[in-house]
Amino acid sequence: MKNLSTKYLKSDLQAGLVVFLVALPLCLGIALASGAPLFSGIISGVIGGIVVGLFSGSQLSVSGPAAGLTAIILAAIASLGSFETFLLAGVLAGVLQLILGYIKAGVVSNYLPSNVIEGMLAAIGIIIILTQLPHAIGYDVIHEGDYFHINKEGNYDMFPTIIDAINFMHPGAVIIVLASLAVIIAFEKVPFLLKIKAIPSALVAVLIGVLINEFFRMTGSSFLVGPSHLVSLPVPESMSAFLNQFSLPDFNQIANKEVWVVALTIAAVASIETLLSVEAADKLDPLRRYTNTNRELKAQGIGNILSCMIGGIPLTSVIVRSSANVNSGGKTKIAAISHGIFLLLAVLVIPMLLNRIPLASLAAVLIVIGFKLASPRIFVHMWKNSKKYQFIPFVATVIAIVFSDLLIGVGIGLMVSIYFILRGNLKLAYFFKQEDYSDDKTIHMELAQEVSFLNKAAIKQTFAHLPDNSKLVLDASHTIYIDHDVLLMINNFVKLAAPERNIEVKLTGFRKEYKIENTDVHVTSVLSNNEDKVSPKDVGSGMKVPSNTLNVKDLSSKK
């Protein structure tokens, strides 16, 4: 909570409003698909925004109910016999996530190569577009809570649904989605509208959709979009009815073995999806900040404990909301927190007004977000700037996720990526250099002969622990190969992260093909094995060379 910043307050609040509009139908749809009360999805969204937002170390990740858990929740509620028993499993899952955070299990995310993360983002963009097309034309057989494109019977029905949607499209919904898309595109292309930063284009698009549908209503037009095509937020008739929407876990089932099995399943899947989403959010971050994933697991644990204690379904960090946050100009966690506050106020103050929002308008907002994630330019960029061992895992990840699900797809992409990396770098080793320095706080870091994406975690940790206002000399004189992931991370650090922390970086020895400009510096120092952890205290006070340190000469003599 100490790193809350109001530096970007205006843009964060605007982004929070857009994320709120995106999250509202998602919370309801995911709860419906999970076989849980609709209000439980709202609870999860509010807790994910406010509570997880406060405790999270991520500046851009947004948490809430996740489509990836719907199949698990649906089966668990049925097998456990009651929603209250399931809530107990959710609380225990949160406790397990806390434990995972404290034993530093979040480190796994550092070993995800960037081509797999890029592929995941592109696949999510494609899936967003595919799942929103039926809503865009008023055919609401599916809803936001469906597990991507697989229905409750487990059948792959996305493309058949899209074909049916075209045959049964609603003309009013088509008019609304076209008008909403026109507004969003105009805000990004028309010079006059580009200058208007105070009002989010997504909000204007939604308001236009509401006004068009109200015009249809007042004129008695057959184009009127009915209740089945609108947001459907529960509207309690009294305060007691509102309070009755909350539920408590059944702690009498604490000894039930099946409850613990469900808890372990939720904790594992929710933690993996969170780590994937956080890594993806860091990838989208224009300021290239790094998230403490162990802290994120703790925040998710706290969020799940509190959500399930009062009747909400389990939550995770969610890519769709996180990408909506980035694309809407969010810069700090205030955007995620404000989206949770907006959700809470909407439920308390204006539920009937929100129920006038056409799903077609929200579909327009999501389709634009999906297109940005899966833009053809991304595929062209990956093809032109990556070798085959980068592009093939990228495409494999995209195809696998679109035709299976998130976890299976990422697993397939990771296996393909590891195959190509190990094939060319089976005998590689990585060393980074630590050197004592005096009052000028100069830190020398030397890369080994060959550096693969498996070394990304150590370099990333070193960058994260560098003291502010210091000097770094990064030497690649002895390298013959540096993985694309590592080059990208170094480039982002030099151009974005280092200036933000007033770190002066001098580069030497980088080859022309690395596309990183050198500065005229010569380095002579020592190498140490990267298994030695570097703490902020070590870096800030002068790093000591460990006992297993080898001189460059020693290394050369052993070749």
Q: What tokens appear for 45 in the block?
A: 């969204």
What DSSP state is assigned to residue 81? S
Largest CA distance in the chain: 88
Pairing between strand 504-508 and 471-475?
Answer: parallel
pLDDT tens digit at each of 559 positions of the chain: 556 778 889 999 999 999 999 898 888 888 877 889 989 999 999 999 999 999 998 999 999 998 778 878 988 999 999 999 999 999 999 999 999 999 999 888 877 888 888 898 898 888 888 888 888 888 766 544 443 454 545 455 666 666 777 777 889 999 999 999 999 999 888 888 877 767 888 889 999 999 999 999 999 999 999 888 898 888 888 888 888 899 999 999 999 999 999 999 999 999 999 999 999 999 889 888 889 999 999 999 999 999 999 999 999 999 889 999 998 899 999 999 999 999 999 988 888 888 999 989 988 988 998 898 899 999 988 888 766 778 899 999 999 988 887 888 889 998 998 888 776 554 443 444 445 444 456 788 888 777 877 778 778 888 888 888 888 888 888 888 888 888 989 999 998 999 988 898 999 888 888 888 887 544 433 333 444 444 444 443 333 333 333 333 333 333 3
CA dihedral 211, 214, 220, 222 (to 10 degrees): 70
Query: What pLDDT is recorded for position 523?
Result: 40
Domain 431-557: give its CATH architecture: 2-Layer Sandwich (3.30)
Go through the chain and tell me how many residues it has.
559
Q: In this predicted structure, what is the pLDDT of residue 157?
A: 61
Q: Which two tokens stand for residue 367?
A: 């389709």
What DSSP assignment string belongs to 378-447?
HHHHHHHHS-HHHHHHHHHHHHHHHHS-HHHHHHHHHHHHHHHHHHHHTT---EE------TT-EEEEE-
By CB atoms closer than 10 A (0-12, 13-18, 19+), residue 43 is buried
The token pair at 347 is 């439920």
Ranges of each domain in the chain: 9-365, 376-423, 431-557
Read off the amino acid at residue 151.
Answer: N
Query: Which strands form 431-432's sheet, in the order they lie side by side?
Result: 431-432, 526-529, 550-551
Query: Do residues 2 and 332 lie in contact, with contact meaning Cβ atoms separated by under 8 Å?
Result: no
The answer for residues whose C-beta is within 8 angstroms of residue 165's C-beta and 6 or more apart is 133, 134, 137, 139, 141
- Which tokens is 216 given? 């249809």
pTM of the shown model: 0.73
* CA distance linking residue 423 with residue 426, whole number of Å: 6
To 5 degrees, how large is the angle CA 119–CA 488–CA 407?
Answer: 25
DSSP state at residue 198: S
- Which residues share a beta bridge with 473? 444, 506
Alpha carbon distance 254, 92 (integer Å): 9
End-to-end C-alpha distance for the chain, whole angstroms: 50
